[in-house]
Structure 1
């Protein structure tokens, strides 16, 4: 379910436009959610300097935190907000952004994190930083990673649905992703799509077993995936024209479908993990997230 009572909007001191705050406002104006506008700052010179004594160092840190808080306050005033959106400003001093985000999210009981993404550098095609991945992998609440573009009045939401899994955890995840996307589409008056991909006939089987028909195999698999996706789509009132089942790897097909239908947001699921397995969001999920050129909502089950 798409829960949105307290939103942690993570600002970036290096960016002029704070898109996470704008996205949070879009939700808060429809749900009466409280927005925690959050900034994490740190200056390496604070640890390196030998000139300042302990008291002076504390004063320096507090002054920088207050300066950042006043800057955010001014940015919020420029939005000329009307209505009763409740906004709190939280600025923390921390070396590691992802740890500060996750800790603050827990401390304030937030149920959604919104964070801007940006390129690593001029030679990098990836839109996600190390901090983004750490938050995505270790956060227990839904995470919305946003670009700088504006959402249209009626955005398009594409939902990546897995229907072939047989274990309870992944079946539950598929339904939760579908339900979250549906509720989000209702909230935003969005055009909702469901998408799924399936693996075609293995080449080695086609070569080694002359009687094997790849056409029949592919048709059977496609029909099974289509039936399962249609069942889910019917439950969440998705139009037949917005249901997409295609042959190929999900990390190839989902970004292609997003581009084809000009998706503003892709919704994808992540199974909750603990311990060492929390280090991975999931190979397929990460490949999809790293390839799409739109906002991404990562739905968590834990």
Structure 2
């Protein structure tokens, strides 16, 4: 179940429009959840200058944070009956400040909008966005400018046939949460799954190997597994999408084709050297879709 009682929304002090807050208000009304609106700010000049005393630095920081509180207060009335709290945080690292606050305040979901890139007029992900998605222990909703109309499409990207228990359980969570959300917002749920076809060099090196038959067999197995999942949630066959290829190539194309309002996918948050060398499949996907993305994290046992 998609249990969410407390939503942390990242306030953007550099823009008058706050799409993350608007989306959080929509969800909070549906889920009967509370909202914590947080502005995480830092100005290194306040710490570096030698012309100010310690007390003066404290006063200037307090004035800046109070200014953020006043700015956030302008958005409270947009949520109607939803309870909204406001908090200003001073932290050198935006993503770490947000994660620490969400953890301390027992939030279930973090909602943040993507940064708008003026040159190409589209939403892009900043390093803070990637770090937030990678290190956050709770689910993260990245908001773009796509509306959430009734009867819209929600795409759940799932994986099957893996020996990795963590990924198996994560796919189950993604499917269940996607189903819950589709009922909540009266949307149509679609399941997306991909499989790796036979490598080209195999057919060349082993002439007796029938690559086409192999691919058809693998596709049939995936379709059988996905249809079993779809049956549990009473989804029609036309809402099942199994394709050959990499998820980062297939899923964004499907989202565009369906004009999806939301993509739901799981991420174990690969870190360190493996992340630098291999990257994360989830990150490759969400950077290429033009809709909101809900990233589901493994459930803490």
TM-score category (smaller protein)? over 0.9
Q: Does residue 196 of structure 2 align to residue 180 of structure 1?
A: no
Q: SS where residue 74 of structure 2 aligns?
A: helix
Q: Does residue 35 of structure 2 align to residue 40 of structure 1?
A: no
CA-to-aligned-CA distance 1:103-151 (integer Å, 9 cap, x gap): 0001100000000102567379881111111111111110000013432
1:201 aligns with: 198
**Aligned with residue 170 of structure 1, among 164, 167, 175:** 167
Q: SS where residue 242 of structure 2 aligns?
A: strand
How many pairs were matched up? Answer: 299
After superposition, the Cα gap between the structure-2 partners of 1:280 and 1:238, relative to the gap in structure 1 and judged at 3 Å, is farther
Structure 2 CA distance, aligned partners of 1:106 and 1:52?
Answer: 34
Q: Does residue 285 of structure 2 align to residue 283 of structure 1?
A: no
**Aligned with residue 82 of structure 1, among 80, 83, 88:** 80
2:125 aligns with: 128
CA-to-aligned-CA distance 1:187-221 (integer Å, 9 cap, x gap): 11111110111112211111111111111111101
Which TM-score applies when normalising by structure 2?
0.93
2:17 aligns with: 17
Structure 2 CA distance, aligned partners of 1:3 and 1:278?
Answer: 30
Structure 1 CA distance, aligned partners of 2:66 and 2:57?
Answer: 14
After superposition, the Cα gap between the structure-2 partners of 1:152 and 1:249, relative to the gap in structure 1 and judged at 3 Å, is same
Task: Report the more deviating stretch, 287-296 or 224-233.
Answer: 287-296
Which TM-score applies when normalising by structure 1?
0.92
CA-to-aligned-CA distance 1:17-39 (integer Å, 9 cap, x gap): 11111111111112211100111
Structure 2 CA distance, aligned partners of 1:165 and 1:44?
Answer: 47
Q: SS where residue 159 of structure 2 aligns?
A: coil
Q: SS where residue 202 of structure 2 aligns?
A: helix
Task: Report the more deviating stretch, 99-108 or 47-56.
Answer: 47-56
- Pairwise mapping of residues 230-269 of structure 1 onto structure 2 (< 5 A)? 230-269=227-266
Q: Does residue 151 of structure 2 align to residue 147 of structure 1?
A: no
1:113 aligns with: 110
Offset, 1:231: 0.8
RMSD: 2.1
Structure 1 CA distance, aligned partners of 2:122 and 2:22?
Answer: 25
Contact 2:114 2:123 in 1 (8 A): no
Structure 2 CA distance, aligned partners of 1:281 and 1:4?
Answer: 32
CA-to-aligned-CA distance 1:141-176 (integer Å, 9 cap, x gap): 100000134322333111111112122221111111
Structure 1 CA distance, aligned partners of 2:262 and 2:50?
Answer: 48
Contact 1:138 1:278 in 2 (8 A): no
Offset, 1:44: 2.5
CA-to-aligned-CA distance 1:233-280 (integer Å, 9 cap, x gap): 111222211110111111100001011110111111012668877889
Q: SS where residue 100 of structure 1 aligns?
A: helix
